[in-house]
Structure 1
Amino acid sequence: MLSRVLSACLVSVLLIPSISHAEWFWYSGTAMTTRIELQLWSDDQATADSASEAVFAEFDRINQRMTRYSEDSELSLVNREAGERPVEVSDSLFRVIEEAQRVSKLSNGAFDISFGSVGFLYDYRELKQPTDTEVAERLQHVSFRDIVLDAEKQTVAFRKPRMKLDLGGIAKGYAVDRGIGILKARGIHHARLSAGGDMRLLGDKRGSPWVVGVRDPRSEDSNAVVLPVSDLALSTSGDYERFFIDEAGNRIHHILSPETGRPAKGIQSVTVMGPDALTTDGLSTAVFVLGVEKGLAMINGLNGIDAIIIDENRDMHYSQGLAAPEAVDSTP
Structure 2
Amino acid sequence: MIVVIADDITGAAELGGIGLRYGLRVRIASDVEITSEVDLLVIYTNARSMKKEEAVALMQHLTRKAKALHPSLFYKKTDSVLRGHVLSEMQAQMRVLGIEKGLLVPVNPLLGRTVKDGHYYLNEQLIHETSFSTDPEFPIRSSRIEDMLGETNIPVNVIAQGEALPEGIAVGEAQTMDDVKHWAQQKEENVFYAGGASFFDALLHTMHEPVSLREEKRLELATPLLFVSGTTFQKNRKKIHCLSSLVCYMPDAVYKQSLPSANEYDAWCSEIVFRLKKTGKAIVAIEERDEKAEAADLREKMSEVVRLVFQQTPVHELLIEGGSTAFGVIQKLGLQSFTPTEELAQGVVRMKANDKDNLHLTIKPGSYEWPAEWNF
Higher strand share: 1
Q: TM-score, with normalisation over the residues of structure 1?
A: 0.29
Instruction: Pick 1 or 2: higher relative contact order, CA cutoff 8 A, min separation 6.
Output: 2
Higher helix share: 2
